Amino acid sequence: MLKNIAGYAIASLLIFAGSKASPAQTGADTYKAKCQMCHGATGLGDTPAGKAMKARPFNSLDVVKESDGDLIAVIKNGKNKMPAFAGKLTDSQINDVLAFIHTLPK
């Protein structure tokens, strides 16, 4: 009987753990809400707002060569016309957005 209880507990934990959203999925939601209006669905900055603000495409050489730390600093502090998201997004949300950005086509 103890084996069955332990088995149910393990199965329940696995189901619960499997239902958690991955950072890229969570990042996708935040990206859609906070970033997509300028950077576009594919990160090319090809939206009207992105063009007006001269949003850099994520696949441009100057963005690709930046480290994750550099990109996190840009998200937190803003750059040029991009607003700062420090205080608007948690560190976890920023990391999740960055994980999502890495999934976008290059």
Q: pTM for the whole thing?
A: 0.75
Give 40-89 pLDDT, tens digit per residue.
999 999 999 999 999 999 999 999 999 999 999 999 999 999 999 999 99
Please provide residue 19's backbone torsions phi and psi, each rounded to the nearest 5 degrees. Answer: -90, -10
pLDDT at 18 over 90: no
Find the mean pLDDT for residues 26-38: 96
Residue 89 CA to its chain's centroid (Å): 11
Question: Cα(97)–Cα(22) distance, rounded to whole angstroms?
Answer: 11
74 belongs to a structural domain:
yes
1 belongs to a structural domain:
no
- The total number of structural domains in the chain stands at 1
pLDDT at 26 over 80: yes
Q: List the domain range (segments joined by +) for residue 73.
A: 22-101
> What pLDDT shows up at residue 90?
95
What does each C-alpha distance from 45 to 3, 17, 91 come to in angstroms?
56, 35, 23
75 belongs to a structural domain:
yes
Question: Cα(76)–Cα(106) distance, rounded to whole angstroms?
Answer: 23
Write the CATH number for 81. Answer: 1.10.760.10
Confidence band, pLDDT 50/70/90 cuts, at residue 22: confident
